[in-house]
């Protein structure tokens, strides 16, 4: 894409009430715009990153057999009354329609998916089943000052699993732990993300969170000194030993919850009477699990953990573009034509490029923009590099520049 055609620009002036680093960096670089506390617009660059994160998650959910659906945001009161959560669910936005009908804005969707599955699943033959959506959620947060980390409106992948028995749920639950780490790896968060024990429900002793270390985090976790496990603040008092390795030394750290998985058991199937018929013709309760992942929050967490004083440093798989191509003195027709040819060639080879073709912007400003926006590779083409039939390639976050022959650039990215 040509930067001259992008309607957004990097901006200097920030909203006064914005205190979080992720929001400040994303607003300055033109990824998001603040509409209200905890409510943001995704601008073209931001939407690209957000879609990439969503597609990583979607791909992994499809691999394990997840079926994608899309549930509504308007969820009727009567569904929440069945599970006794209309008055008890934390931070539920509630509203009334013109026919006096009351709704909650979906903050989670157990109340919608359980009666939905009841219409289609009757037999042990149809279990297990995994259904997910990537959808906008709403939470009536008292405070929303952490940028995309705690939004009043935010994106969520929520998968719900349905099983004939606990053993089958347990197996899938363990698989999902692995799948989540595969996703964090692709988001560049693997090394700083911990499987964290949290309180369970009536059905299981623990649930699990995925917590990424960052000072921007609103949570405190306790990391086992011996293994890659952590415990959250909620259960640290009763949990004196690591549930994985039994070690009893922990290190306290700030972190942000980037995912959570929970064995629901029959918490929702019982009130909705979601049952199946087993091999012997007996009616039994379906056993459920749920698996949440917030793409917009993960995007913020990447920004909080991948940056320097010049801007964002996107991991390659979620970057808005792989290459930020900068033309110097590209007003001059001879130079412009050569850069243009190079730009077309990158695109033809499926390398995503943001081409800074603006001819009224000084080189220093272009470099500053490239650092702020944070694409993994910066390529500079100028009269000087063209004299050597070369371009200058620099990895974002590194100091070193390399001169690479124009004809070798595609191979450079293929290796």
Q: Do 385 and 321 form a contact (C-beta atoms < 8 A)?
A: no
CA 211 to chain centre: 13
Q: Is 90 in the site for a second copy (CB under 8 A)?
A: no
Least CB distance from residue 121 to a second copy, whole Å?
7
Q: How far is the CB of 166 from a second copy (least distance, A)?
A: 21
The neighbouring-strand residues paired with 393 are 379, 402
Residue 237: partners with Cβ closer than 8 Å, 6 or more residues away: none
Q: Quick check: 347 and 410 in contact, CB under 8 A?
A: no
Site for a second copy in 149-178 (CB under 8 A): 152-153
Residue 70 or 202 having the CB closest to a second copy? 70
83 and 76 Cβ atoms separated by less than 8 Å:
no
Task: Name residues contacting a second copy, limited to 123-142 (CB under 8 A).
Answer: 126, 129, 131, 136, 138, 140-142
Residue 182: helix, strand or coil by DSSP?
Answer: helix
Q: Is 354 in a helix, a strand, or coil?
A: strand
Which one of 25, 28, 42, 357 is in contact with a second copy (CB under 8 A)? 42
Q: Is 246 left (phi over 0), alpha (psi -120 to 50) or beta?
A: left
| Nearer to a second copy among residue 31 and residue 197 (C-beta) | 31
39 binds a second copy (CB under 8 A): yes
* Cα–chain center distance at 11: 24
User: Residue count at the site for a second copy (CB under 8 A)?
Assistant: 55
403 near a second copy, rule: CB under 8 A? no
Task: Give yes or no for a contact between 212 and 293, defined as CB atoms under 8 angstroms apart.
Answer: no
Q: What is the DSSP letter of 410?
A: H
Q: Which one among 101, 205, 283, 398 touches a second copy, defined by CB under 8 A?
A: 101
Beta bridge partners of 285: 275
Q: By CB under 8 A, name the one of 64, 73, 227, 406 that touches a second copy.
A: 73
Measured from the CB of residue 318, what is the shortest distance to a second copy in angstroms? 16
Which one among 22, 75, 211, 269 touches a second copy, defined by CB under 8 A? 75
Judged by the rule CB under 8 A, the positions of this chain that interact with a second copy are 5-9, 11, 33, 35-37, 39-44, 47, 50, 65, 67-76, 91, 93-95, 97-99, 101, 103, 105, 112, 116-117, 119-121, 126, 129, 131, 136, 138, 140-142, 152-153
């Amino acid at each position: 894409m040509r930067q001259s055609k992008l309607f957004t620009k990097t901006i200097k002036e920030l909203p006064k009430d914005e205190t979080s680093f992720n929001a400040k960096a994303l607003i300055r670089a033109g990824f998001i715009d603040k509409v209200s506390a905890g409510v943001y617009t995704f601008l073209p660059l931001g939407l690209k990153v957000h879609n990439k994160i969503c597609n990583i998650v979607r791909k992994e959910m499809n691999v394990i057999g997840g079926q994608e659906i899309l549930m509504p945001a308007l969820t009727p009161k009567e569904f929440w009354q069945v599970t006794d959560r209309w008055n008890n669910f934390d931070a539920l936005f509630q509203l009334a329609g013109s026919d006096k009908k009351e709704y909650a804005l979906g903050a989670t969707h157990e109340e919608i998916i359980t009666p939905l599955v009841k219409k289609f699943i009757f037999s042990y033959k149809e279990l297990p089943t995994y259904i997910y959506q990537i959808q906008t959620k709403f939470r009536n947060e008292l405070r929303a000052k952490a940028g995309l980390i705690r939004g009043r409106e935010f994106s969520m992948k929520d998968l719900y699993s349905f099983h004939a028995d606990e053993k089958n749920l347990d197996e899938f639950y363990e698989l999902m732990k692995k799948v989540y780490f595969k996703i964090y790896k692709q988001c560049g968060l693997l090394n700083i993300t911990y499987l964290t024990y949290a309180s369970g429900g009536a059905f299981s002793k623990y649930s699990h969170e995925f917590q990424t270390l960052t000072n921007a985090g609103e949570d405190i976790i306790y990391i086992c000194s011996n293994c890659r496990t952590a415990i959250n603040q909620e259960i640290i008092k009763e949990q004196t030993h690591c549930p994985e390795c039994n070690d009893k030394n922990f290190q306290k750290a700030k972190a942000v919850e980037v995912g959570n998985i929970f064995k629901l058991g029959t918490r929702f199937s019982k009130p909705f009477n979601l049952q199946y018929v087993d091999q012997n013709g007996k009616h039994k309760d379906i056993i459920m699990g749920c698996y949440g992942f917030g793409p917009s929050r993960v995007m913020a967490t990447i920004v909080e953990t991948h940056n320097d004083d010049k801007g964002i440093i996107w991991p390659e798989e979620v970057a808005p573009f792989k290459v930020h191509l900068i033309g110097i003195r590209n007003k001059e027709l001879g130079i412009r034509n050569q850069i243009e040819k190079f730009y077309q060639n990158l695109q033809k080879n499926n390398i995503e490029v943001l081409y800074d073709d603006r001819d009224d912007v000084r080189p220093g400003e272009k470099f500053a923009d490239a650092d702020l926006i944070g694409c993994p590779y910066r390529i500079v083409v100028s009269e000087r590099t063209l004299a050597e039939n070369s371009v200058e390639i620099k990895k974002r976050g590194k100091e070193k520049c390399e001169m690479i022959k124009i004809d070798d650039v595609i191979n450079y990215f293929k290796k």
